[in-house]
Amino acid sequence: MRFEEQRERLVEHELRLLGIRDEAVLRAMKEVPREAFVAEEMREFAYRNAPLAIGSGQTISQPLIVAHMAEALELAPDDKVLEIGAGSGYAAAVLSRIAKEVYTIERHRQLADTAAERLKRLGYENVEVRHGDGTRGWPEQAPFDAIVVAAGGPGIPSALLRQLSIGGRLVIPIGEELESQQLVRAVRRGEEDFEYDELGAVRFVPLIGEAGWPADEAIEKPTVSRGVVRPRLGLPDLIRDVAEPFESIEKLDFKPLLDRVGSARVVLIGEATHGTSEFYRIRAEITKALIERKDFNFVAVEADWPDAYRIHDFVTHKEREEPHAWEAFARFPTWMWRNHETLDFIHWLREHNLTRQASRRRVGFYGLDLYSLFTSIHRVLRYLEKVDPEAAEIARIRYGCLTPWEGDPANYGRAALTGRYRNCEAEAVRALQDLLKRRVDAAMRDGEELFDAQVNARLITDAEEYYRIMYYGSDESWNHRDTHMFRTMRLLLERYGDGAKAVIWAHNSHVGNAAATQFGKHGQLNIGQLCRQAFGAGAYLIGQGTDHGTVAAASLWEGAVEIKQVRPSHPDSYERAMHLTELNRFVLPLTKSKSPQLTAMLAKRRLERAIGVIYRPDTERQSHYFDASLPGQFDEWIWFDETSAVDPLTTLQAAEHEPAHPFAIIDR
């Protein structure tokens, strides 16, 4: 097999599968001929994923380590990079294909001269090699955007930290033993402000120099040289100390979590994706515990009101004179609620409600979202046709303003905004006002159905406005949507009476307090923030996260559901810190943590991942990460290191399922 083919195979069948995801790094690894950086007799082994000897007691690092360290540097095309330990020049060549300038230092004269000649001969014009003590850095060329050290030291040379630019990244193996280290990443946030992360166990040759190990190999227990910084690497360790690991969802003891929830009236439980089985399953188990042990009254989810109301009727055993005449959760994304995980909870809730005494209202299930504009119109009209046909005809005329846009409500917003079509706000508001006047006499006769109709009418007015303002900008439409969800939740609390308690299911981006995220800085709010403002400590916010696994998601809006691989987490993210604990799953108290140090460290803003119904792994950093302060967002964090996709419920499965359930096609 030719070297080019071996190189391609190494990258695609080993490095990529072993977790390297930075496409710039993978391209560089494909481009640089590793066989040109080893001795003639070693070339046949060039594309084994292993270190190889290069003389002077040194080695060329295995390709996976080279790629892993390059990825951790987060290089940009205009970056200036310093490498300590040039060796054969291979790693510098790889870095040169990603960054603008590379400076590399080698303490062995022969290796330095050979590397310089080789790099020049192979055409790597943006690499400069120096012979010297790498622990002193290269002050004449500082500052550097990135520094990488290819040898293990007792700590980080302070000279290298000083030569980082603000925002610069340094990757180095450090440890108290000569032959065993932890790969550490330092990020310079300010003149004297550095953040440190552990990236995993490694084994490198010793870093010899003024701020490294002494050169005398006869010393059995080397003393640490001057100029070494021993960083506090404690975040994964602190998380590990405070975390409450659990073996499985089924065996999790919920008592500590429920004790922390205390007397909260509203518990919001989030998810990092809309398609992960573990998130749905543990959220259901927490909700069961809240219902059974703390007497919570209803569950309200990020779903359309009419569709969720079918589930409400089902779980509360409501007998209807006529069936619902549409298929629940039939619009994109169907798998978000139409899945086996949700169905299992629905069946549990239906059975639980049979055990409740007649004097206690059965636990309800409701939707908070506002996308069901035309289904809601149909529900209002059906109610009015039954109780007041004349009022139904008036409402039909008023809502007729919207009917041309039933196929695509978003087009209504565009037309109203551009003036090509009048907006329907006044008609929708008048229809709502008419329904609200029916409070007294109708409430005595058919209060539940009237409440359903009134909520649908409110939804229509809010949805009409939502589709008009969605073209003004994402913040305004987002705020309008989450405000609608919050108001609907408040209506439900009022309906259930004094002391009523709610469980909210929604994405982390809705549940976590927006004020603690980059979006909050620009005026965006969410239901979590509104609950925090309204209820204070009476609102308890729970988020969830994962490092890798599979997820059910689409590639574009209205696209088919796919089972996609979730990329390992970003080095700068909360998810990476959780992953480095090496715990498979745990519950982590944030605001009620016993470790103020952990809370303080977690409060420093990092990246956080959010995958909705769309997942684009190729642009994950831009599409799915945002800046946040985790303890400001949530009171609690639930972690699953590896997760799996939800199990979508197909129409065929729904029709054939026993016992019957509200996802079935159309009741007959």
Under DSSP, the state recorded for 335 is G
State the Cα–Cα distance between residues 512 and 631, nearest whole angstrom. Answer: 10
Q: Write the burial class of residue 109 (CB in 10 Å: 0-12 exposed, 13-18 middle, 19+ buried).
A: exposed
CB-side neighbour CA atoms (13 Å) of 216: 8
**Tokens coding 356:** 């409740």
Q: Write the burial class of residue 494 (CB in 10 Å: 0-12 exposed, 13-18 middle, 19+ buried).
A: exposed
- Catalytic, 573? Answer no
Closest CA to 102 of 119, 118, 114: 119
- Scanning the structure block, which residue is given the tokens 């088919």? 560
State the Cα–Cα distance between residues 60 and 504, nearest whole angstrom. Answer: 54
Residue 572 in 3-state DSSP? coil
Q: What per-residue string of b and e applies to 278-316 under the rule 16 or more CB within 10 Å gives b?
A: bbbbbbbbbbbbbbeeeebbbbbbbbbbbbbbbbbbbbb
The Cα-based distances of 341 to 85, 280, 329 in angstroms read: 52, 6, 15
Question: Catalytic one among 56, 61, 225, 573?
Answer: 61
The Cα-based distances of 449 to 306, 318, 442, 530 in angstroms read: 12, 11, 9, 28
**Tokens coding 410:** 């978003």
State the Cα–Cα distance between residues 399 and 182, nearest whole angstrom. Answer: 65
Q: Write the burial class of residue 127 (CB in 10 Å: 0-12 exposed, 13-18 middle, 19+ buried).
A: buried
Which residues are catalytic, by number?
61
